[in-house]
Amino acid sequence: MTRGIRLCAVLVCLIILGSGICLSQEATGEIRGVVKDETGGVLPGAKVSLFDGLTQVADQTSGINGDFRFIGLRGGRYGLQCEAEGFEAYVYKHVEVKGGRATQISILLKPAGTPQTMTILLCCFGVDPRRTWLGRDVSYGELRNLPTSRDPWAILAMTPGIVLDRVNVGGSEAGRQPELTCRGDVGGENSMWVLDGLTITDMAALGMSPTYYDFDSIDEIQITTGGNDPSLATGGMSINMITKRGGDTPRGSTRFYTTSEGLQSDNTKDLASPSNPNGATTLDGFKWNPSFVPTKLVKLREYGVEFGGPIAKDKLWYWGAVAVQDIQRAAVNKGPQNTQIENYSFKTNGQWKDSDSLTFFYMRGDKIERGRDASPTRPPETAWNLGSPTDIYKLDLSHMLNPDLYLSGTLGIVRSKYHLAAQGGLNAQVQRDANLVYHGSYIDSVAERPQWQATLNSHYYSNALGGNHDFKFGFSFRRVDTESVSRWPGEGVVADAYTGTAWLTRASHNLARNNYLSFYAGDSFARDRLVLNLGFRFDRQAGGILAASTPANQMFPDVLPAVNVAARDAPFTWNDFSPRLGATYDVTGDGKTLLRTSFADYADQLGSEIVSNLSPIASGITELDYYWNDVNADGYVQPSEVDFYPPYDWEEPLPSTTALDPELTAPRRTELIIGGERQIADNFLAGANFVWQRARNLLWKVGTDYQRPDRPYTHDDYVLAGTITGTLPDGTPYNMPFYRLSDERRSLDGAGVDSLLTNRSGYSETYRGVEIYAMKRPCEDKLLLNAWASWQTSRRHFAGTTGISNPTNEIDGEDTAFQSASEGAEAYWISTPRWMFNLNAVYSLPRGFSVAGVLSGREGFPIVYFRSKYYVDPGLAALAVRAQPIGSSKLPNPIELDLRLSKAIGLGDKGVVNLDLDIFNVLNRNTPLHVTESLSSSRLNYVADIMNPRLFRLGVRYSF
């Protein structure tokens, strides 16, 4: 019986796949709308025709509710004409269609004056009553014409609700992936990275992108930061990058952008330095170290080519691209870092019938870095060379059964590899001298993160209950594997002259697998002025570890023997049902003034790191330190020089540092949005939103001990250990307590060592924000404008002492924040700014000139002053006690103005040459971005990082 059920299930899947069901956000969009007369009454029976250039591609007759739709459309501009007996004809010359989006049109027909009378509108841009998401769509015109650092993160930084952990002035941070916060998702672990509709999120570095991108290959970026769309899996940011495709007309471009040290200003010339001893010793109220060397972008060059065209006109097309970024920088107080990013892309798409289409896409992105983390304590042989190639394959198949039913399907594979290889190689024994300088080589790390997925989706339209329905359904399965190995080179022994010890090490080996299964369904029902969005999704997230092993220490195999770990499933599976509800009301009846409300509940993503805790060899390199007597004074460890007293017996695998609660469930996020939008004029709209989000059931690691591993430490297990007192740099006194385990618990065997990953009951995080915005699209006045400002808070909350273990630093109502672990911003505290704004615009001038600019700003990130207390509890070397609640002290507000002047030179039918001059950080601001926060440091309040100085970039592009 079971076998028969399985066989039937397989046959059903094959039939479905054979029909070509799956979602392709990249492949198709739609146009939908309603036809009305001057009184606002709907007009059934009107003929609506769609044109691609001069060719009519489809026509429809408006339904009983005056509605019409064209689905399965390739992205681009279309023409649309509407005719009805007794009325003037109505024409849109430019209707923009975007992949994965619906363009909404409201047509108001006027009584006919003469048979030849026709209303012509050049552009179509306005409010959309069926819009279910919050965020923004960025067109190719914006991507190409705005002065940015030319990567997707620059576009994220221009989106309401999203905050990056750094300020990237003209590419000064290029090749470094930032971390982010999106509304209530502090740390960005629920971010979703999507390429042409294919989810590619790195589930090992949760919420991060697995690769870097060729900016010129992107045709559009769709960013979602909230809403009730049931196809959205998480309550974080989602970015879908839609790449270009070929068409019947051959098109392409090539470009070269360059900047260098010679095109960079100096924003520290008035500050003290070895060559300017009489310069200022303070900056914005913080201390300035005359020997401090800020980050310097030495060189950044980008060049590439992309082109596409027909293989067989009207049937089969191709597109491809190659791009390289060459980045050289001198890091803060460190040596040079050279990075090269290479991208290769290819796409072919065919449409053998009007109802069927097929697309294959391949992309390879690789970041190659030489001398990573070189520093005074990491000379060249210990610096890393990085290689991180990622290959992405995607196959789309779509089929339109009839004008009301559209089916599509995607199969995708992502293969990512990450290798940090010390320049000294794998054979040299590592030494650390008395000055803490490493020699010989350094840790070698290799990670592979393959994933594959299949999605099945459909759209169905119908008229019922006096209105029209837009049903959508989706199913997806995704498998993600994570394998990583880290080891010290040589024989796994490090000679440490600073402490007089020999580090005996054994490699880590993490091998985990996560499976993600989901189903969603939704209906957008429109009747008269009201649109209701009703939906839900179900997510099943599970994982476990695969069989893995690590070899014994080569020099001391009896001390650290080989370890084999059996495959094991996680003791929990996350099954989550998430409702999605929303409503839109047309206040004025003309489709120009809308009120919206949205309610959504989300489940967080299950990261590979969580299930990896099941393996005792996954979390990191095993290390045992013994006294070392360098008898022959050669600086290297020999077996006879190691003192093994007291003896150790490590015949069994070391216990995992973190246990998993078998009752672990997914964190949840509840979101409410209330807003309104008004179309002020053609192609110009403005609006406002209030957003509330509450995160609950979050995960945390709480201490336990060997004797009572099922009994995590609670607030009652801690007693007052002391206070830190003093005065902050601004003169504010502080007096903050810190705590230790009670005598009863600290006396137990293994106290303070084990940790338990579990849900944090009694704890929540709440985001509240208001944003206002305005958008203008170019038409006859040639102005493109986006402007927004927001005010928000994100706070932590406790229900009494529930959700508190060690009370140190646990303050109800303080700002939520995290410490960035991303390269170039390590240990920087990132929080939600109380205010942010962004204004960007492009304006076309006569004679082929255009100007563009981006003005952005936010409140400064927090300064978290602390004092370290050592050996307060067993198993804890240091406890960082904060002197005040997070958010009490702030860094200065970073404000940046970037400008572009561009000149287009027409070459007739040969194409166009564009010359670009970009100026970043026009005001040459040197705002501090990080300061030394340790109250015990002699460099307390010294500037540790500043904004990159004014930067000029030159660019030339040829397009045909």
**DSSP one-letter string for 770-795:** EEEEEEE--SSS-EEEEEEEEEEEEE
Residues paired with residue 479 on neighbouring β-strands, in sequence order = 452, 515
CA dihedral (117, 118, 119, 121) positive or negative: negative
Distance separating alpha carbons of residues 554 and 45, to the nearest angstrom? 82
pLDDT at 782: 87
Does an H or E element contain 30, and which?
strand 29-36
What's the whole-model pTM score? 0.90
Quote the tokens at residue 121: 């509108």
Q: Give pLDDT, residue 13.
A: 41
* Stretch (H or E) spanning 770: strand 763-776
Question: 497: exposed, middle or buried (C-beta count within 10 Å: 0-12, 13-18, 19+)?
Answer: middle
Residue 622: helix, strand or coil by DSSP? strand
- Tell me how far apart the terminal alpha carbons of the chain are, to the nearest angstrom: 63
SS3 743: helix
646 contacts 626 by C-beta, under 8 angstroms: no
Q: d(Cα 130, Cα 34) in Å, to the nearest integer? A: 12
Beta bridge partners, 62, equal none
Query: What is the distance between the alpha carbons of residues 341 and 358, in angstroms, rounded to a whole number?
Result: 30
User: How far apart are the C-alpha atoms of 134 and 136, rounded to whole Å?
Assistant: 7
Distance CA 99, CA 103 (A): 10
Q: From CA 732, how far away is CA 808, in angstroms rounded?
A: 20
- Only one residue has tokens 């201390």, namely 287
Rounded-to-integer distance, Cα 667 and Cα 220, Å: 32
Give Rg (Cα) of the chain.
Answer: 30
Q: What is the pLDDT of residue 567?
A: 96
**H-run or E-run covering 156:** helix 152-156
Cβ-based neighbour number of residue 437 at 10 Å: 16
CA-wise closest residue to 624 among 643, 608, 609? 643
549: Cβ–Cβ under 8 A, 6 or more apart, which residues?
509, 562, 563, 564, 565, 617
The residue with tokens 């195999």 is 557
Q: How many whole angstroms separate alpha carbon 89 and alpha carbon 111?
A: 9
Question: Around Cβ 531, how many Cβ atoms within 10 Å?
Answer: 24
Residue with tokens 């003005």: 855
The predicted structure's pLDDT at residue 657: 66
Q: What is 343-389 written as a DSSP string?
A: EEEEEEEEEEETTEEEEEEEEEEEEEEEEET-BTTB-GGGSEEEE--
- CA within 13 Å, CB half, 367: 22
CA–CA dist 613, 485 (Å, integer): 15
Tell me 655's DSSP state: P
Tokens of 589: 């009846």
Could you tell me the strand order of the sheet in which 47-52 lies? 55-61, 47-52, 76-83, 89-97, 118-123
The pLDDT averaged over each successive group of 10 residues in the chain (960 residues) is: 41 36 52 82 87 80 83 79 87 79 81 67 73 89 94 96 95 93 93 95 95 95 94 94 92 96 93 93 96 87 96 93 92 67 96 85 95 85 94 93 86 96 94 95 96 93 86 95 96 94 94 97 92 96 97 94 95 97 92 94 96 91 91 94 66 59 96 95 92 97 82 94 96 96 88 88 97 87 92 96 95 96 90 97 94 98 96 88 97 98 94 97 97 96 96 97
Amino acid letter for position 79: G
Return d(Cα 36, Cα 461) in angstroms, integer. 20
Structure token digits, residue 480? 């993600």
CB 88 within 8 A of CB 111: yes
What tokens were used for 225? 């930061």
Secondary structure (3-state) at 10 = helix
Answer whether 874's CB lies under 8 Å from 751's CB.
yes
Which positions ≥6 away from 781 have C-beta within 8 Å? none
Q: Which of 586, 594, 595 is nearest to 674 (CA)?
A: 595
Which of the 8 DSSP states describes residue 857?
A: E
Q: What is the dihedral of CA 881, 887, 888, 891, to 10 degrees?
A: 100
State how far the Cα of 909 lies from the Cα of 764, in Å rounded to an integer.
61
SS3 content of the chain, % helix, strand, coil (to 5): 5, 55, 40
pLDDT at position 474 is: 95
Structure tokens at 893: 């507000």
Give dist(CA 294, CA 296) in Å, integer.
6
Q: Which two tokens stand for residue 913?
A: 């040459």
Q: What is d(CA 959, CA 306) in angstroms, rounded to the nearest whole number? A: 10
Tokens of 115: 């048979």
Q: How far apart are CA 320 and CA 337, in angstroms?
A: 30
Alpha carbon of residue 613 to chain centroid: 24
Round to whole Å and give the CA distance between 281 and 299: 29
| The predicted structure's pLDDT at residue 21 | 31
From CA 895, how far away is CA 900, in angstroms rounded? 17
